[in-house]
Amino acid sequence: MPTFICKLGSPDGKVLTREFEATDAAVLKKDLEDQGYFVFNVSKRPLKFFLSSGIIGGGVKKRDLLLLNQEMLVLIKAGLPIVQVIDTLLEEYESGVLSNALRQVKEDVKGGDSLSGAMERHKHVFPKLYTASIRAGERTGDLPVTILRYIRYLRKMEDVRKKVISALFYPSILVVVSILAVCLLLFYVIPILSKIFTDSGAELPLITRMLIAFASFVRGYFLAGLLPCIGLFVAFRFWASSENGRYLVDRFKLRVPYMGAILTDYSLAAFARTLANLLGGGIPLVEALHMATGTLNNAFMERSLGEAVKYIEEGGRISAAFARTGIMPPLAVRMLLVGETTGALEEMLVNIAEYLEESLEERLHILTATFEPAIMIIMGLLIGVIIVAMYLPIFKIAGTVG
């Protein structure tokens, strides 16, 4: 969903600059005016892809959010008022996006706003799930319990993310090193040896002539071919960021053999754990389902589960709704049915998340166990063919000289 930067005039006469997520600028402007703001300007936030991915600053790392909540939990348990809690936090976060957001949150809270309402205006800093959890804690009067639950949730999600990264790190290094080795041979070693062969006047084997011709073609048309590739990539990124393009790309991802199953397990595990956390925080089921669906990060799955939520809103059973989507494993659907029947839905969702995380870890282990030797064999054969093709003439020339 696009992010818009809004310059607003508040009812008390202050000029504010805030960021909001919305489907359309006109709809956002109308919503803000309905809330009593005078809207000076609404502009789309640029470079959303880079900002959201962390390539360019603009967001807050999960680690910083985790530390913030740990410190906030200690201060609230000590009995400090919210404004004093934020003042104490600001002593540590002196500058940056988080400190700026906290200062504005403090002013809004002093003006009579709730903590969750003040945080909700800074969606680029405080995730929607987080503000919803804070709001639930304010309603029930158990804010420390809610924050503790969210801390545990963040830790678990970070553990899963680290497992995925560590499993894919070594194969990625192998691929990069192999590509660099082949490039070194094509752009540096082969030109030197081909000049030696040309000066010697010896007749070259077919495989050597083919390799030299291929290397010359790559060197000659590398830049000419690179620019169209960059253009195609940029065009693809724009298309993939559209609603229809993102849906088709995400559907394709899930249909890729084996990798699709890994992506499905990862997304559903995050969804189940998020939903359990929201239900545990006292958020109603339908509202929790709508928010948890946003953690899937896959348009195809979001649309499928969106249909399931509509079915639940019409009075259907949760397990039946998820069975209709066809994206949740049968065992997970049966576990949902048991949790729904026994009234232990939150506990069963945690069990489903753990089951999917175990399945994910097993799939990643199998992937790395097979992928690493496969890469080494393929790249070893490729580099071996290049070396043999370039050394055959050297042996021939040495034999002629001898």
Average pLDDT over residues 370-383: 85
SS3 of 42, please?
Answer: strand
Q: Which of 311, 359, 299 is nearest to 335 (CA)?
A: 359
Reported as a pLDDT band with limits 50, 70 and 90, residue 252 is very high
Q: Are 28 and 22 in contact (CB under 8 A)?
A: yes
Task: Please write the tens of the pLDDT for every residue from 268-284.
Answer: 988 888 888 888 877 88
Burial class (CB in 10 A: 0-12, 13-18, 19+), 139: middle
pLDDT of residue 69: 86
Q: What is the CA radius of gyration of the chain?
A: 28
pLDDT tens track for 11-33? 766 666 777 777 677 888 888 88
Average pLDDT, the chain: 82
The pLDDT score that the predictor gives to residue 402 is: 46
- Each domain of the chain, given as residue ranges in start order, spans 1-46, 53-126, 150-402
CA distance 35 to 41: 16
CATH code 1.10.3720.10 for 150-402: no
* CA 172 – CA 204 distance, rounded (Å): 36
Task: Spell out a b/e string for 243-274, using b for 16 or more CB atoms within 10 Å of the CB, else e.
Answer: eeebbebbbebbeeeeeebbbbbbbbbbbbbb
The model's confidence at residue 400, banded by pLDDT at 50, 70 and 90, is low
- Token pair, residue 10, equals 């508040």
pLDDT digit string, tens, across residues 40-63? 788 776 544 334 433 333 456 777
Least confident range of 54-68, 126-140, 332-346: 54-68
pTM: 0.67
Average of per-residue pLDDT across 218-224: 81
Q: 272 and 352 in contact (C-beta within 8 Å)?
A: yes
Which residue in 150, 157, 159, 104 sits closest to 128, CA to CA? 150
